[in-house]
Amino acid sequence: MKISNPVIKGFYPDPSICKAGDTYYLVCSSFQFFPGVPLFESKDLINWRQIGHCLTRKSQIQLESVNSSGGVFAPTIRHHDGRFYMTTTNDTTHQNFYVWTDDIYGEWSEPIFVEQDGIDPSLYFEDGKAFFMSNGTDDQGVGGVVQCEIDIETGRKLTPSRSIWQGSGGRYLESPHLYKIKGTYYLMAAEGGTEYGHMVTYARGNDPFGPFEAYPGNPVLTNRNLGGYEVQGVGHGNLIEDDRGNWWIFHLGFRQIHRWLTYHHLGREVFLAPVTFGEDGWFQAGHNGTTLASFETDCIPHGVTQMEKKIDTFENTNWDLDWCYLRHPHHENYRLEENKLTLKGTGVTLDQADSPTFFAIRQKDFNAVISCDVSINHGEAGITVYMDENHHYDLAIRKIGTGYEVIKRLNIGDIKSVEKVVELTGGNRASLVIRATSTNYSFFLRAEEQEIDLGSAQSRYLSSEVAGGFTGVVIGLYAQSEGSSNEAEFSNFCCEYL
């Protein structure tokens, strides 16, 4: 069958996967968005359904006033003795921790902290022992992939942290994971930075603490030399074996907006590539060591079809799964109904590293039509295509004096500019439309079966190459108000991917 990448679209970076019974589970990083660490399940490795989040309570993660791309970094999910573990880093507080659950559909524990530095922590279990690794500095000040044995009940270190591998020579060694396959230990990592030079590398040895011999063909997977190719930034991989003995690597990558325009704004997404082991015990990944936008395989069971959802609405999405807040929300400002959303605006705006009244869904493809009816009684409310507090485009209705107007505002770094204003003559309700392509967002006011064109803006100014950071564009519904109370009502929301 033909598999299309990415298998999970939109801002779902740093994937990690495990298997329990006949089901696969996958988690991704979430940074300043809440709830934290989206959790997915699949029976076939290509069709994924979100079933929850690992961090759903304020007590589990500190997100107050964290800057964009701070907060929750790359997670790892593992299943051992009937229990699931998810370990991650709060990069803002520089703490590595893990949570656990015996019910994958239920709540996760309070965090258990491990006194080891670095990011991208991972767990490995063997013979009643739990090993904790991260990329950082060991107890002797030596950098690299650092590992210790811990008491899994308390997180207490049972051995000193020790640097066990320094990588293959690329910058920003990260994302370490340890596997035991046919009696050999494989240590996989990422190097090159999570940009265009990203790559997956690995080494192998006969003991969990090494020494490790680097794969002679490193990097085992990278698209760093594929100029003019849509899929870039390939790295941060996790291995998994399916029920039929086939091996796969799940990893992040991103889609640039055009063959010759090196910008990406949808975020880092989840990609899949096949893995094959040679007779010498070394494995190879992808197509000649690269990840393709699509590939043919006979390793997926016959009859499986890759499905894709093309329309998101209030009615067919789940408030608790598909939507997210900025940092910890003030729930009293949100009223969530089956086909309507009511937001109470405050003085906190989208331009602050705070918690504005904001509810968002990830943009999952380049070409889309986003529409929503919005009404207000005061202040401002509308739709934002949001990368971070300094980079977002807003299409909104606001009250001016005794009347109302629709505005298009561009926020690019230090430039905050209202580019277009249209006076509303029919009251306090507006039908707002944004049309997206890979290179542009175009903004419209729909009135009396006509559309008033409010102009466009280039997507590149919402890209990681311009904005920096590690997130991707989300489609946000927001309300804000100075002084007076503002209740905004949103209805008929639709995001259709073309």
- Catalytic residue positions? 14, 174
Task: Quote the DSSP letter at residue 287.
Answer: B
Peptide bond into 6 cis (omega under 30): yes
96-104: Cβ within 8 A, 24+ apart? 96/121, 96/132, 96/134, 97/155, 98/123, 98/155, 99/54, 99/55, 99/60, 101/54, 104/20, 104/25, 104/39, 104/41, 104/51, 104/52
Give yes or no for a contact between 392 and 469, defined as CB atoms under 8 angstroms apart: no
CB distance 130 to 152 below 8 Å: yes
Angle CA 34–78–329, to nearest 5: 10
Within 10 angstroms of residue 42's Cβ, the number of other Cβ atoms is 17
Backbone phi and psi for residue 76, each to the nearest 5 degrees, phi listed first: -130, 135
Edge-first strand order for the sheet with 76-80 is: 76-80, 83-90, 95-101, 112-114
CA distance 459 to 184: 46
Query: Can you say how many angstroms the Cα of residue 388 is from the centroid of all Cα atoms in its chain?
Result: 14
Contact 266, 10 (CB under 8 A): yes
Helix (H) or strand (E) run with residue 276 in it: strand 269-277
